Amino acid sequence: MTLPLPRAAHPLACLALALAAAFAAVPARAADEAPRSERLQVTDPYLEMRTGPGRGYPIHHVAARSEWVEISLRYTDWYKVRTESGKEGWVHRRQLVTTLTEAGVSRSFRDIAFDDYLQRRVEFGAGWGHFKQEPMLKFWVGYKLSESIGIEGTVGQVQGVFSGTSFWHVNLQLEPFSDQRISPFFAAGVGNFRNIPNTSLVAAIPTDAKLANASVGVRYYLTERFVLRADYSIYTAFLNDTRSAEYRALTGGLSFFF
């Protein structure tokens, strides 16, 4: 693989600015309306109702056993309910799985395996693709810092006709719809790029440069602990103070999480 000529413009900088603007413009996720209003009867000793959809919000009311509550909204694993006395609050899904419907049966809230996927913290994966039209193999490991933000490290290897390339980078990743089975994500980060030409080439010089990248991709929860993933990335290697080279890569792969 031969290094391309310097580019007059630096498109990655424009893309990074646009990506940052997109991150800032993503609004807080609105609660999803429940499919229909339904009443559930509390069967546990009590049901803790919080002021917001998260464990960081305080408990402001407790619904007692045999009391009826009505679901009005949903946000990921949190449901907004209203008691017969008019008290409203947010309840986690785990507290609702033991409630009974008006027909006297339990209501299924979500597939347990999918719930494990939503609560994942660590993800390992491998993918195959093309880096500037040449075959590439890469591996990644990610860690979720919150529901929508994570950090991911990647190493890759490209075997070209005229040279071999290896790289690594660490990315900050944003996944605004992380509670969905199909979930797009955006990422940007920095790393290192190393290109070693074939010894048969005349006057070929190895390259060791700093690397920046921006990516857009999508995850699809497959089954059990497996996730399909595809991403498109723009890499920029800073060859020296005045010269840089841009590469584009498309990758598909499989991840395992726990």
DSSP result, the chain: -PPPPP-SS-HHHHHHHHHHHHHHH-PPPPPEEEEEEEEEE--SSEEEEESSSSTTSPEEEEEETT-EEEEEEEETTEEEEEETTS-EEEEEHHHHTT-B-TTSSB---S-HHHHHHHT--EEEEEEEEEETTEEEEEEEEEEESSSSEEEEEEEEEEE-SSEEEEEEEEEEEE-TTTTSSEEEEEEEEEEEEEEEE-TTSTT---EEEEEEEEEEEEEEEEETTEEEEEEEEEEEEE-SSS-EEEEEEEEEEEEEE-
Say what the pTM is: 0.58
CA 173, 177, 178, 180 torsion-angle sign: negative
Cα–Cα distance, 158 to 73 (Å, whole number): 48
Neighbouring-strand partners of residue 100: 41, 106
Radius of gyration in angstroms for the set of CA atoms belonging to the chain, rounded to a whole number: 24
pLDDT at 152: 98
Instruction: Indicate the length of the chain as a whole number.
Output: 258
Q: What does the block give as tokens for 83?
A: 């008691």
pLDDT at 30: 41
pLDDT at 203: 61
pLDDT at 33: 45
pLDDT at 199: 67
Q: Walk along the chain (258 residues) and give the pLDDT tens digit of each residue.
A: 444 433 434 444 444 444 444 444 444 444 444 445 688 999 999 999 999 998 899 999 999 999 999 988 887 778 899 999 999 999 988 888 889 988 888 776 665 567 778 888 999 999 999 998 899 999 999 999 998 999 999 999 998 877 889 999 999 999 999 888 899 999 999 999 998 887 666 566 788 999 999 999 999 998 878 999 999 999 999 988 888 999 999 999 999 998
Residues 79 and 34 sit within 8 Å (Cβ to Cβ): yes
